[in-house]
């Protein structure tokens, strides 16, 4: 398994880390989880929002890694971009939880650029 594939696994697990932080208050209501989560505030609310955005970011990332592999893209670039995506998304979550909106947006944009870069790697292989 390549480093990039391990990065896909890490990205898949990442939202659950943020969800755990959001639910760490200790009084989580599993009978009405969405209602309970909607009532959060402060850093736990931001952790929940980071969880939601991380779920949204996963499909394009996973697709980009799979496509880049499928077409035989340069493995070094694929691995580097995949690892960078995971590190940037962890930073994104930390910036979100820490209420650093400008840094959060910068990290989001840079992680998105990694996904685009994976597609560029794939396209340059097939060109």
Q: Would you state the pLDDT for residue 56? A: 97
pLDDT tens digit sequence for 99-116: 999 999 999 999 999 999
Q: Where in the chain are the domains?
A: 3-126
Sign of CA dihedral 2, 118, 61, 24: positive
- Residues 69 and 2: their CA atoms lie apart, in Å, by 9
CA distances 57 to 8, 52, 99, Å, are 11, 9, 19
Is residue 82 within 8 A of residue 8, CB to CB? The reply is yes
Q: For 46-94, what is each residue's pLDDT tens digit?
A: 999 999 999 999 999 999 999 999 999 999 999 999 999 999 999 999 9
Length of the chain counted residue by residue: 127
pLDDT at 127: 58
Let me know if domain 3-126 sits in CATH 1.20.120.550.
Answer: yes
25 — phi, psi (to 5°)? -65, -25
């Amino acid at each position: 398994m390549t480093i990039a594939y391990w990065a896909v696994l890490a990205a898949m697990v990442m939202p659950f880390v943020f969800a755990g932080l959001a639910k760490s208050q200790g009084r989580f209501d599993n009978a009405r989880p969405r209602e309970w989560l909607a009532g959060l505030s402060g850093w736990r609310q931001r952790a929940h929002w980071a969880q939601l955005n991380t779920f949204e970011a996963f499909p394009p990332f996973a697709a980009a890694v799979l496509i880049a592999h499928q077409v035989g893209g340069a493995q070094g670039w694929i691995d580097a971009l995949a690892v960078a995506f995971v590190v940037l998304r962890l930073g994104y979550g930390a910036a979100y939880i820490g209420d650093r909106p400008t840094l959060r947006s910068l990290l989001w944009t840079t992680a998105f650029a990694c996904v685009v870069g994976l597609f560029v790697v794939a396209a340059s292989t097939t060109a």
